[in-house]
Each structure stands twice: as C-alpha cells, then as structure tokens.
Amino acid sequence: MKIFNSPDRISVEINRIRLGKKRIGFVPTMGALHAGHLSLIKQAAKENNTVVVSIFVNPAQFGPKEDLKKYPRPIKKDLELCRKAGVDFIFLPGNKIMYPQGYSTFVNVEGLNEVLCGSARPGHFRGVTTVVAKLLNIVRPDALYLGQKDAQQALIIARMVKDLNFPVKVKVMPTIRENDGLALSSRNAYLSKKERNDAVVLSKALLLAQTLIDNGQRQANRIITRIKQLISKKRSARIDYVSIVDLENLMPLKKIKPGCLIALAVKIGKTRLIDNIIINEKA
C-alpha cells in the first residue's frame, strides 16, 4: 500500500496504472474508518484492479460551529484497516495542499443542496461537492463508491458527475448497521453509553415507517407524525427533520410511492445523526 500526500505524485502514479488499462475504484472518506467504509472498499476491490482511498477531514464542509476540530482522526488505525482490506493507494492530503492560499473555486449543486441536511447545514454540500470534484480530478477513477447512509450526498454527487461530465461511474452501496440497527457512523464515537442506547431510535423509527407502509398506510404526514412521536420518547433526542421525499429531486411527497426516500436527522445529546431508508417496491 502506497501513501501519498501530494496530488501531483498520486496523479503521476495513477497515470502509470491507467496506461496498463487497469480499472481504478475510488472511495473518498474522512477517516475514522468503520465497517461501512470497509464495505465500499470491498466492493471497489471486487470491481476494479486498483483501489484508491482518500482520507481527508475536509474543512470546507464543516460549519463554523461544527465538529471540525474534534472530528476523530485515528490515522494509524485507519491505515492498518486499509492495508488489511487490500487498498493499493491512500491519498492523505493536508489542508494547505487542498486549499492553498488564494483558493477561490467552489462547486455548487443548486436546489438539491438546500433541502434536508442542506437547510440545517448551509454550505455543507458546497464543501462536499468541491472536495469530491477536486478528488475526482486528482484520482480520475473509473468508479466512485459512496454510501446510501448519506443519501442526499450521494444524490448530489451523482448530479454533479452528470452535470459536469466527470467520466466516472457512481456506485451507491447499502448502509451497514450495528446488530441493533444503528447505522455505522464515525460520529457514533461521540455518544455516551446512554446516548448510544437512545440512538437506536433512528433506525427503529424507519422500521416503524416501513411496517406502517407494509400495512397499507400511504399518507406521508401520518407516517411522519408516528416517526416523530417515537423519537420524541427519548429525552436525549431533538429532531432536526423527518422527511419523505422523491428520491429523484428530494421534493416532499404527500403520498408514499415505491422508491421514495424517508430521511431523518436527529440530535442525540450534542451529536447529530442521520439515517434513511428507501421504501421497497412492495409499497
């Protein structure tokens, strides 16, 4: 496994690989790797000859009051996990090389970035699309692996890739969960024991929604009310949003339809967690 800090160096090395007509799979991350990240790496390894992972806690996607400083950075452990998972190249840039003095270019996917997490975190997706655009230009992969856990992020990146003609295939992989249903997230590390127990309410609420739909409920507002009631039972929980939206454009739906997205964001104590499900065809 080779580790690169410089965009130019990794680009040169990847160019060499590309000349050998090898397929390159790319997994962008902010580190603090867990089984969710590893599932993306595994899929990338299955479908490509070379796997590139980036580890970069991107300051451009954090708001001024967010957790940039305290975001976990267990770099040694991350590198070990990548080595074991068979990653070929790690891209581990510093802030100054990604955003040198005078940096002024940002990529903005309009509309999609203003709803759901976009309204609570203004500028967040602008930071995400900017860094992913840069990473795609540096790595120039054949396939890009993203998690359904961040459904809005995946949709926005797919839109950017299409709109800006990036020659890459976007693959969105299912959410990996703990045994009790909690979606794996690097931010779960912030939770106290009590909060960790309470946090399971996010996935429980989504399961409740699926059950209501399986039993014939089609009114989005009724389902949203039931989800909110369930989550509100936890004293540590503060709901940011619960939304049922069209997966194409993230516009709210009045009635459930197959393939729609139920997405929620909830603060458990001080930790903001997100989760979602795509309603299966049975609906």
Q: Is 25 in the site for ligand AMP (CB under 6 A)?
A: no
Contacts of 162 (CB under 8 A, 6+ apart): none
CA distances from 191 to 67, 236, 241, 274 (A): 14, 11, 20, 14
- What is the Cα 114 distance to its own chain's centre? 16
Rule CB under 6 A: is residue 54 a binding residue for ligand AMP? no
Query: Does residue 24 interact with ligand AMP by CB under 6 A?
Result: no
Beta-carbon contacts of 177 under 8 Å, excluding residues fewer than 6 positions away, are 183, 184, 203
Alpha carbons 252 and 216: distance in angstroms, whole number: 19
Residue 36 or 118 having the CB closest to ligand AMP: 36
> Residues 14, 28, 30, 37: which is the catalytic one?
37
Nearer to ligand AMP, 141 or 224 (CB): 141
Fill in the per-residue mask, 157 to 176: x = in contact with ligand AMP (CB under 6 A), - = not in contact: ----------------x-xx
Smallest distance, Å, CB 254 to ligand AMP?
A: 28
Q: State in angstroms the smallest separation of the CB of 58 from ligand AMP.
A: 8
147 binds ligand AMP (CB under 6 A): yes
Size of the chain, expressed as the number of residues it contains? 283
Residues 55-114 that bind ligand AMP (CB under 6 A): none
- Under the criterion CB under 6 A, does residue 29 sit at the interface with ligand AMP? yes
Our CB check for ligand AMP shows the closer of 202 and 220 to be 202
Dist CA 55 CA 30 (whole Å):
5
Q: Quick one: which segment of 34-42, 43-51, 189-197, 273-281 binds ligand AMP (CB under 6 A)?
A: 34-42
Q: Pick the binder of ligand AMP from 10, 14, 24, 40 (CB under 6 A).
A: 40
Read off the tokens for 259.
Answer: 């393939």
Near ligand AMP by CB under 6 A, which window of 4-12, 141-149, 230-238, 264-272?
141-149
Q: Which candidate, 228, 239, 282, 229, places its Cα nearest to that of 260?
A: 282
Of 10, 14, 24, 30, the residue at the interface with ligand AMP (CB under 6 A) is: 30
The answer to the question of residue 183 lying near ligand AMP (CB under 6 A) is yes
Q: Give, in order, the Cα–Cα distances in Å from 129 to each of 30, 110, 133, 157, 255.
A: 14, 11, 6, 6, 31
Return the SS3 of 203: helix
What are the CA-CA distances from residue 268 to residues 141, 236, 277 (Å)? Answer: 37, 5, 19
Two tokens, residue 227: 């989800």
Which of 85, 184, 191, 224: binder of ligand AMP (CB under 6 A)? Answer: 184
Check if 37 is active-site. yes
Provide the β-strand partners of residue 273. 266
Q: How far is the CB of 102 from ligand AMP (least distance, A)?
A: 26
10 Å Cβ neighbour count for 118?
19
Dist. CA 69–CA 20, nearest whole Å: 41
Binding site for ligand AMP (CB under 6 A): 29-30, 36-37, 39-40, 146-147, 149-150, 173, 175-176, 183-186
Residues forming the active site: 37
